[in-house]
Structure 1
């Protein structure tokens, strides 16, 4: 074995039989502490990545869901099922802006025009 001159190691003569035995590749044995979700650091990381991939989220949506997941450590999420979420959406829909259209007569220098105007009126939540 001849090392690089900067290594400062002398040349070593090793018979082929000894060299191959000492440097034979080791057979693969799984590391018992290696998690099933490797190379992800945590199981949650793996689950989030699986969800993001399955949902085909874009970069902006992915960043949002990752940011949101970091909040789970500081806030309690009370939504447990789709039905919880759906009933909350239903309750929130009553708080949305209600709008109506009215026709306004406008006279300009050229001609009279009817213009549809969209008016938004906040609806009070009950």
Structure 2
């Protein structure tokens, strides 16, 4: 307590009060007999009757910390710079060498974190994990370094085939005309891309065919592919393919 109440001198032979009892656990705590002046009350200054209780000289902006009397923690005075910069709780924070638990390793956590941030589906997450295991086992070599390299490789791949074009398509709707962006590949250029592909070229048929099946008496014609129809046959006659 920082304040002091008026001094009262007890009688020479004080009599004990046998009617005063300690309140039980269910009784309200009557609190201290003297009012607490509170932290906003003026400091009465040094205690002249007891020089040991005299406080040292304070400096401007000093911070005084007072605790509740029931805590039995003495009041302390701190320099403003020390009080504002100190973090006494840091010394009591336990050190954790594996904050990524319950994941077994930090790498496990970081991969799972990427899958979570990207909102990957179950199938995509399994594919990512399988790729990591393939690289870790040494069966495949992973050489990509960053996003810029990935983007440049996609650009190179797109230049091998006909690129998409963007045109506006006008569609009448009631009394107005609405425009929509349409992305497409020119059909002729796309066909040429297919013809240049060495894996697909052997499967193209340029000569018309006429197929017939023998039914025991004669051959009966049938059509099962575009080049076995009449239009393909007539086109080869006209253009002499």
1 or 2 for the larger relative contact order (CA 8 Å, sep ≥6)? 1
Superposition pairs for residues 68-83 of structure 1, below 5 Å?
A: 68-73=131-136, 74=138, 75-83=140-148
Superposition pairs for residues 1-126 of structure 1, below 5 Å?
A: 35-73=98-136, 74=138, 75-96=140-161, 100-101=186-187, 119=191, 121-123=194-196
Q: C-alpha displacement at 1:100, in angstroms? A: 4.2
CA deviation map 1:16-65 (0-9, x unaligned): xxxxxxxxxxxxxx686x52211111111100110011111111111111
Instruction: State the TM-score, normalizing by the size of structure 2.
Output: 0.29
SS of alignment partner, residue 92 of structure 1: helix
Hey, which bits of structure 1, 4+ residues long, moved more than 6 A?
Answer: none
Quick check: 1:79–1:85 contact (8 Å CA) kept in 2? yes
Q: What's the C-alpha RMSD, in Å, of the aligned pairs? A: 3.2
Instruction: State the TM-score, normalizing by the size of structure 1.
Output: 0.51
SS of alignment partner, residue 114 of structure 2: helix
Q: Which has the larger radius of gyration?
A: 2
Q: 1:123 to 1:36 in 2, by over 3 A?
A: farther
Quick check: 1:37–1:46 contact (8 Å CA) kept in 2? yes
Which ranges of structure 2 fall in alignment gaps of 5 or more residues?
1-93, 164-184, 198-241
Which ranges of structure 1 fall in alignment gaps of 5 or more residues?
1-29, 103-117
Q: C-alpha displacement at 1:71, in angstroms? A: 1.7
- Tell me, in whole angstroms, the C-alpha distance in 1 between the residues paired with 2:103 and 2:195: 46
2:42 corresponding residue in structure 1 = none
Q: 1:40 to 1:96 in 2, by over 3 A?
A: farther
The number of residues matched between the two structures is 81
Q: 1:43 to 1:122 in 2, by over 3 A?
A: farther
